[in-house]
A and B are shown apart, each in its own frame.
Chain A
Amino acid sequence: MTAPTVLIIGARSDIGMALAHHYAAAGHRVQLAARRMAEMEADAADIALRHGTSTSVHDLDILEPGSFAAFLDHLPVLPEVAICVVGLLGDQATAQTDLEAARLTMRSNYEGPALLTGLIANRMEKRGSGTIIGISSVAGERGRASNYIYGSAKAGYTAFLSGLRNRLSKSGVHVMTVLPGFVRTRMTAGMDLPARLTAEPAAVAEAIYRAAAKRRDVIYAKPVWRLVMTVIRAIPEGIFKGIKL
């Protein structure tokens, strides 16, 4: 029996590519979804060569919810595992004054991912099986001056995933929320990240793979972040608002 098919939405991202390799290495067939999919053909060839699995690429823009149903209809099969990796950090300072920039961040991190995962969930629910994995962020756990527009959209997505999990708990469909801390990717390129809190994409992919097999609900891709966020959440708002973060 071949291992179940995995759909990766936002496959070009470093975390997405790391996931694709990890699942393919474990024998899964992978479907790569991204915008400008023609550029992904080389990645698909690489995955197929290295891991000897079949791979397909699919065009998807997360800002076009009207295309989602057709996108799912055209997949070779409804996947067993769907992972949404799409995200956009955006520039906080710009987004504070430029409504369109703020809206793009909100739509890319909340509206699009939530609508698409919701649609996939409905189809999986009908089938009675499947795993949905949403990549949100620790930034959604508490709003901070430096990235609250991104953070609030991630908070929305985290809440969406938690509600979906609640709704589907008896349906055979599992929903897992991933809250990465810092990850060394294109998104954080050039930032000065603290080494002990920063994960490599391959390590994040492995953590996700293992947690999904155990049907965990919420994971921090690097465990130390559970502690960090417990502390950050515990700080009273009166004090929190005065801290520069």
Chain B
Amino acid sequence: MMLSGWGRFPQQWCALHQPRSEDELRALLVQGPRIARGNGRGYGDCAMQRNATLEMRGFSRMLAFEAETGQLVAEAGVMLADVIATFLPRGWFVPVTPGTKFVTIGGMVASDVHGKNHHRVGTFGRFVDWIDLMGEDGEVRRCSPQENAELFGWTIGGMGLTGVILRVAFRLRRVESAYIRQTTLPARNLDHVMALFEEHQAATYSVAWIDCLNTGSGLGRSALMLGEHARADELPRDRRAAPFAVPKKRARTIPIDLPRAALGRMTVKAFNALYYRNARAAAGEKLVDWDSYFYPLDAILEWNRIYGSRGFMQFQCVLPLASAHAGLGELLRAITASGQSSFLSVLKRMGAEHGPFSFPLEGYTLALDFPFSQEAARLIERLDAITLDHGGRFYLAKDARMSAATLRRSDHRADAFTVLRHDKGMTNFRSSQSERLCL
């Protein structure tokens, strides 16, 4: 059937299988190139393979939980949303979360996702105790820092290219309530927001929404949002009795593909101005429930349709600390000069690099999205070049169009991965992305 990632570009016909048991999965592995797919929230072509795409949603059981350590053992197809629904009412939360709860645990490991707390705790992989991985030979191997350590390392952030993740043991963290104390700080420009990030390194969560249309001295004006898990005694009196209860909200769905004009430059400009004004008005602290804080976009199901049927392209790079200021300035100037507008532009300070193939490194990451067009594609190539010039690299979970050469220039680890995949007999785990990137 026709498949795509969350960005709806590219779309490609793929033979989709939905195995339900290890035996069914094993039988599918003998049939040549194949890749695992979680919930398809990767933006580009990382979870697609024409020959055989193996959707893991059928492996959706939680198997064991240990309250002393917070360790949860779950099958790879378990949804993050289900983990939260099950454990938050009991006082547990995931240690690291991406900006949507509609991802699978397998997908979170394969992309080694980072959250708003990366500067403090690192990626999701840091909380993984072990992984059961099915290799090309159909064998299931327990991988951990002690056992099959090399495979363990490359599987975290390995984009499904080391095998199929079956089960993951990872640790949840304790929380006292379902609420976050959010502080919003307006920032005049890039200098200002970066200074604020550095000043607030101790905050548990930090992320900035950045306006990509302003120029001159207002280039990079943003709203920085800090967050802390609220203690039970920090809740208003009437909520203290039930600190995990959150009023129910209705999810809305974008009913049809919007015409492209609906997301014109004007809309975005108005949106950004409004957002910045709100940030100023709302500056100071407020209590926000977990769902609104971590997953604002999830409240609008299928929001990817606002970009119309041609889809959109994501761009996310990370620049090392030393060159981040210069690099970000150039990236923002390239965007404003192009006249293209990014609907959601997110800036975040990242902590130290970890693991053989995970995306983050110490510095700043910028995530952007553009409705699909030739001009946007040209702009993104320009952004690629700027990133390369400043020693940055790209997030594969967002990528749909980078060239193999760009990947290799940005990330010297790619060659080592290719060699490992040949030596260890993993080359039949292949996505459209890995074929494009010659991994």
Tell me the A residues contacting B by CB distance below 8 Å: 39, 42-43, 45-46, 49-50, 186, 189
Given pairs A46-B62, A50-B82, 5 additional interface contacts (CB within 8 A) = A39-B21, A42-B75, A43-B61, A45-B61, A50-B62
Prevailing SS type, chain A contact patch: helix
Cα A43 to Cα B61 in complex, Å, equals 7
Given the complex of chains A and B, what is the CA–CA distance between A205 and B319 in angstroms?
51
Question: Which A residues touch B86, using CB under 8 A?
Answer: 49-50
Per-residue 0/1 for B19-54: is the Cβ within 8 Å of any A Cβ (1 yes, 0 no)? 011000000000000000000000000000000000
| Selected A-B contacts with CB under 8 Å, 8 pairs | A42-B63, A42-B75, A43-B61, A45-B61, A45-B62, A50-B82, A50-B86, A189-B18
Residue from the list B20, B21, B60, B62 in contact with A49, Cβ < 8 A: B62
A148–B378 Cα distance when bound, in Å, is 61
Asked if B275 is at the interface (CB within 8 A of a chain A CB), the reply is no
* List of B residues within 8 angstroms of A42 by Cβ: 61, 63, 75
Please give the distance in Å from B82's CB to the nearest CB on chain A: 7
A49 touching B82 by the CB < 8 A rule? no
Contacts of A43 in B (CB 8 A): 61
B83 to A: closest C-beta gap in Å: 10
Produce 1/0 per residue, B81-104, CB < 8 A to A.
010001000000000000000000
Shortest C-beta distance, B67 to chain A (Å), equals 11
- A186, closest chain B residue (CB): B20
Q: How far is the CA of A45 from the CA of B63 in the complex (A)?
A: 5
**B195 lies within 8 A of chain A by Cβ:** no
Shortest beta-carbon distance from B66 to chain A in Å: 11
B127, CB-defined interface residue at 8 Å: no
Q: Which of A39, A46, A186, A189 contacts B63 (CB 8 A)?
A: A46
- Shortest CB-to-CB span from A57 to chain B, Å, is 13
Smallest CB separation, B61 vs chain A (Å): 4
CA distance A49 to B75 in the complex (A): 13
Chain B contacts for A46, CB-based, 8 A:
60-63
Smallest CB separation, B323 vs chain A (Å) = 46
Give B53 Cβ to nearest chain A Cβ, in Å. 16
Complex Cα distance, B20 from A181, in Å, reads 24
Closest chain B residue, CB of each to CB of A39: B21
The residue in chain A whose Cβ has the minimal distance to the Cβ of B75 is A42
Q: How far in angstroms is the closest Cβ of chain B from A131? A: 28
| Min CB–CB distance B128 → chain A (angstroms) | 19
- Contact check, B64 vs A45: say whether CB atoms are below 8 A apart: yes
Complex interface: chain B residues within 8 A of A50 (CB): 62, 82, 86
Closest residue of chain A to B63 (Cβ to Cβ) is A45
| Cβ-based interface call for B65 (8 A) | yes
Name the residue on A nearest B90 (C-beta).
A52
Which residues of chain A are within 8 angstroms of B18 by Cβ–Cβ distance? 189
Q: How far is the CB of A1 from chain B (nearest CB, A)?
A: 22
For A39, the chain B residues whose CB sits under 8 A away are 21
CA distance A54 to B399 in the complex (A): 44
B-chain residues with CB within 8 Å of residue A189 when the two chains form the complex: 18
Kindly state the separation between the CA atoms of A186 and B61 in the bound complex, as whole angstroms.
17
Q: Which residue of A lies closest to B61 (CB)?
A: A46
What 0/1 pattern do residues 63 to 79 of B give for CB contact below 8 A with A? 11100000000010000
Which of A39, A43, A46, A189 has most chain B Cβ within 10 Å? A46
Q: With A and B bound together, what is the CA distance between A65 and B21 in angstroms?
A: 28
Closest to B18 in A: A189
CA distance A186 to B18 in the complex (A): 10
